[in-house]
Amino acid sequence: MKLIMENWRGYTHNDAVLVEGLNVKDIVMDMAQVAISTGAVAVSGGAGGDVVTDSLFAAKTAQEVLEEVMALLGEYTLLESIVTQAAQLNYGDNPDAFYQEVKGLVKKTVSSGTIGENVQEFIKDIQESAQQIINKIVRAISKWVSALLPDDFGLAGPAFEITLTNAITSAAENAYNLASKGVTALGETGKLLTDPEALQAFFTQIVQDMVSFLQEFNSIAQNPGEQAGLVGSAVGSLQFGFETMSRLYAAPPRALMSAMGVDLDTPAEDFFDMLDKMHAKDPRRLAFQKSIPLAINAFNDVLKEWIPKAVTVMGKLISLLFASIAVFQIVMNPEERKEILKIKPGSADLSDPLEIDDLEFTPDLGPEDMQAMREFVQTERMRLIMENWRQFK
């Protein structure tokens, strides 16, 4: 009776106060805690609801991180021009081919005369500034990686910065190769950082499990069961407490019973059973009725908007970073630097390869004929430009 009366005192409260002062992140964290603590949702490394929530909210800041990195690259315009072109490709698809593409862009930049006539000065400028800029980019990306994939997930987020920094500072002439091998050696972390599909699947599975759990949770919260009432609230709470304690202090007997084929409820089933017995005005049920729909909407936003954007940005950031490291290795490696120095600035004439600017059209041609010829000439110009480009790849 004492427990029944204690439960009853809460039913006269104004249920509007149950979610006052809570923001969406608080609600999502609470729901994630329930889902994970009851075993309904399993995550890597035994991460709690706070870790999962922080990671999902870190995904929302993806665009801000990309803008920060682009601003850092903007400190050196020529490097930015090369690496942003290279970043149109995906580093994770084929690191070796990616490197060759970057080398082709460097050669094209030199041969087109974009850097001017002094190739040695161009190389010196990159040697002096690239490492500093790359270190800043590594720190910016690592900070986000650590928030997105914290240690509690068992993914060693901080190891990313250490790996990249060591590769760049220990052997500049082999920085790209060492950085690539280092990220691969990170195991699951490396795969998530360089494989967009893996990163998407990782977060999508967590969120989908959360939504499935919350939908079942919400159905029970919104619809009190036949056993719901004052007695049900008290009995359900006692039963759930007993089940929880038995898991903590009677694991061997439960394991033995399970091995003997005895059907044991999961923590999530015990939790739902307790919820089903709660009085319609139990403050806990009222709080769940208000907060669960908000949490479901938030998780759906994460699923539809935040995760895809975070995955896209991660691919872009990693490609920008490794393009920068590739340029750094090219100018620091003696053999590859020789290749660049052999190129004559302005040797690739991409301006007017057909010398058509002074082309005179016969006056006998009509307007339609002249337009057709101009289109043909423009097509041939582009064909020659592309052929010129292929030789540098």
pLDDT digits (tens, 9 = 90+) for 323-381: 999 999 998 999 998 888 888 876 654 444 433 344 344 445 555 655 665 555 555 54
Spatial contact of 196 and 313, defined as CB atoms under 8 Å apart? no
DSSP 8-state secondary structure symbol assigned to residue 156: -
Contacts 24+ apart (CB under 8 A), 300-307: 300/211, 302/56, 302/59, 302/60, 302/203, 302/207, 303/204, 303/207, 303/208, 303/211, 306/56, 306/59, 306/60, 306/62, 307/59, 307/200, 307/203, 307/204, 307/207
Buried b (16+ CB within 10 A) or exposed e, 289-298: bbbbbbbbeb
Predicted local confidence at residue 33, as pLDDT: 85
Cα torsion 270, 276, 277, 279: sign: positive
Predicted local confidence at residue 231, as pLDDT: 42
How far is Cα 374 from Cα 356, in angstroms, rounded to an integer? 10
Q: For 216-270, how does the pLDDT look when each residue is reduced to its tens digit (9 = 90+)?
A: 888 888 887 655 444 444 444 434 343 443 333 334 444 433 443 434 445 656 6
What is the phi-psi region of residue 346: left when phi exceeds 0, alpha when psi lies from -120 to 50, beta otherwise?
Answer: left
Instruction: Give the residue from 75, 281, 53, 21 showing the smallest Cα distance to 152.
Output: 53
pTM (two decimals): 0.71
10 Å CB burial of residue 15 (0-12, 13-18, 19+) is: middle
How far is Cα 359 from Cα 370, in angstroms, rounded to an integer? 12
In whole angstroms, what separates CA 19 from the centre of its chain? Answer: 31
Predicted local confidence at residue 247, as pLDDT: 37
Instruction: For the chain, 393 residues long, give each residue's pLDDT as a single digit of tens.
Output: 344 334 434 433 333 333 445 578 888 888 888 888 877 788 887 788 889 999 999 999 999 999 999 998 888 777 888 888 888 888 988 999 999 999 998 888 888 776 667 788 888 888 888 888 888 899 999 999 999 998 888 887 788 888 888 888 888 899 999 999 999 998 888 999 999 999 999 999 999 999 998 998 888 888 876 554 444 444 444 343 434 433 333 344 444 334 434 344 456 566 666 676 677 777 777 878 888 899 999 999 999 999 999 999 999 999 999 999 999 999 899 999 888 888 887 665 444 443 334 434 444 555 565 566 555 555 554 454 445 444 444
Alpha-carbon separation of residue 157 from 30, 154, 193 (angstroms)? 24, 8, 10
H-only helix segments in the chain: 2-9, 24-37, 49-59, 62-73, 77-86, 95-111, 119-148, 158-170, 175-185, 188-194, 196-222, 230-249, 251-259, 267-277, 283-301, 307-332, 334-341, 367-390
Name the token pair of 375: 């289109």
